[in-house]
Chain A
Amino acid sequence: MRRRHFVIGLVLVAIATLLYLPLPASLRLKAAVRENIAPFQGAVSRVVQGFQDLVHGLTEAHRLREQLRGQEEELTALRFELRRWKGLAAEAEELRAQLGFQRSSPLRLVMCRVIARGDATGWWQTLRLDRGRESAIAPSMAVVTRDGLVGRVTTVSARSCDVLLVTDPNCRVSCRIPRTGGFGILEGTGVTLHGEGALEMLSPAGPCRLDFVSRDQRILEGYEVVTSGLGGVFPEGLLVGHVVRAGVDASGLYQQAEVRPAAPLDLLRYVFVVTGTEGGAR
């Protein structure tokens, strides 16, 4: 009983002390207690906030779902639009480069768009272009890009023409290796660079073969191969490709070189038909 009275008295004294505590001491005590309670308040605040967010999420779920669906549709449309713009930008860049090539070239060039690849049977490696006789295009004209020779025109209609690629076995081009001065006949092998079958006709076929090169020439990998101008079909000096490897042919009389076309034949979108040279007919 005495202990109980003692504790009660102690509590009452403590309360009285608190009431008459000097202000600075009171503020210090308040600050100390607040410091210890603050972490708990923060934790409770986070829990309450999480609960409020949960309730808000549940009540707003339908509206949010609708909003999300709308935004997904919008995102899809925007992605599609972005892809379209990227494609247009790439095309514009390519056109700008091609036009620069057209202006700087001494050749008279007619720019054409590739509208089809490969012939209907799959036996020939061809392109179909959107220009024809009305654009002064005629059979046997050379077809080039700023990267190099593509092939030659075979058949022409009023508003389209077909091009036989240099990689087709039926295409033969008189060529020269500027570093050595040697001549040869370039012929397509009809085999892709990757050794794949002819169904993938435009993956460029592959290395072309340069025959009848003199054995006296020392041909190294990477040497350029250009048109010689002999034969009158292809203007002189058009880059055809680069030597991949060279060796003596089966007869032992000549050298033979494998040539990789310089133009990206499987990626062509725009090409030029050479209709003549500046200041003269072809």
Chain B
Amino acid sequence: MSGVIMVMLVVLAAVAQPGLGLPAWAGQAGAPLLLCVVLYYALNRSMVQALVAALAAGVAQDTLSELPLGYSCVAFAVAAGSAGRFRELISRGQFMPLALIGAAASFGVALALGLAAASAGPRPWPAWLSVWRALWAGALGFPAFPILFAVVSWLERRVGAALVSEDETGVA
């Protein structure tokens, strides 16, 4: 069941993300919904599931953008690993911690992808634009992650997808 929900979330986030972008003056930063899905799995599920989510979300994002295949997978995997590493320090029931994680991860992933794409992509752009866009992506990640976290938690409770145990997550 959890695999089906993951695929569904990735597909929904992939199709909704392009429609939730900011205007040109904000660098056309998109709402980081796919990243938020990955972060959700990193905070709530095993590292394996988080990495699988990162792989699926990365493929979806790279497919629907001009990024070379695999770039987003790496960025999402790093974000998932980082979030998973500090998951016990994060209070998952409160808005602000989740918002800060969302903002930080969005900023980091957007900056990394922007710089990587600027150096390797077919349309290089100045570094300052990558930073500007990353800032706006972070601003979008701030409210997006807590909202998505709440929605997905509610959805999983509704369909009875129980959380895995601590042993299974591999986190002591």
Which chain B residues in 44-88 approach chain A with CB under 8 Å? 46-48, 51-52, 54-55, 58-60, 62-64, 68-71, 73-74, 77
Partner of B19, one of A18, A37, A48: A48
Q: Are A19 and B69 in contact (CB under 8 A)?
A: yes
- Minimum Cβ distance to chain A for residue B144 (Å): 17
For A15, A16, A29, A30, which residue has the most chain B Cβ atoms within 10 angstroms? A15
Chain B contact residues: over half helix, strand or loop, or mixed? Answer: helix
CA distance A1 to B69 in the complex (A): 30
Determine whether the beta carbon of A45 is less than 8 Å from that of B19: yes
Residue of A nearest to B63 (CB): A33
Against B, the Cβ 8 Å flags (1 = close, 0 = not) of A40-54 are: 110111001000000
CA distance A26 to B63 in the complex (A): 9
Q: Is B16 an interface residue (CB 8 A)?
A: yes
List, in ascending order, chain B residues with CB within 8 A of A30's CB: 62-63, 69
Output the least CB separation between A52 and chain B (Å). 10
- Residue interface mask B158-172, A partner, CB < 8 A = 1: 000000000000100
B58 lies within 8 A of A15 (CB): yes
Query: What A residues does B69 contact at CB under 8 A?
Result: 18-19, 21, 26, 29-30
Distance in Å from the Cβ of B40 to the closest Cβ of chain A?
A: 17
Which residues of the other chain, A, contact B113 by a CB distance below 8 angstroms? Answer: none
- When the two chains form their complex, are residues A19 and B11 in contact, meaning their CB atoms are under 8 A apart? no
Task: Name which residue of chain A comes closest to B76, CB basis.
Answer: A15
Query: Contact at B74–A19, with CB atoms within 8 Å?
Result: yes
Cα distance A268–B136 in the bound complex, in angstroms? 82
Bound form: Cα–Cα A18–B19 in Å = 26
Q: Interface stretch among A4-12, A97-105, A136-144?
A: A4-12
Give chain A residues whose Cβ lies under 8 Å from the Cβ of B6. Answer: none
B15 contacts A by Cβ under 8 Å: yes
Residues of A close to B98: CB separation below 8 A: none
Q: Which of B8-39 contact A (CB under 8 A)?
A: 11-12, 14-16, 18-19
List, sorted by A's number, 30 A–B pairs whose CB atoms are closer than 8 Å.
A1-B170, A4-B48, A8-B47, A8-B51, A11-B51, A11-B77, A14-B55, A15-B70, A15-B77, A16-B70, A17-B70, A18-B59, A19-B71, A21-B70, A29-B59, A30-B62, A30-B69, A33-B60, A33-B63, A34-B63, A37-B11, A37-B60, A37-B63, A37-B64, A40-B12, A40-B14, A41-B15, A41-B18, A44-B12, A48-B19
Q: Beyond A8-B47, A40-B15, list 9 extra A-B contacts (CB 8 Å).
A: A7-B48, A15-B73, A18-B73, A26-B68, A26-B69, A29-B63, A37-B64, A41-B18, A44-B16
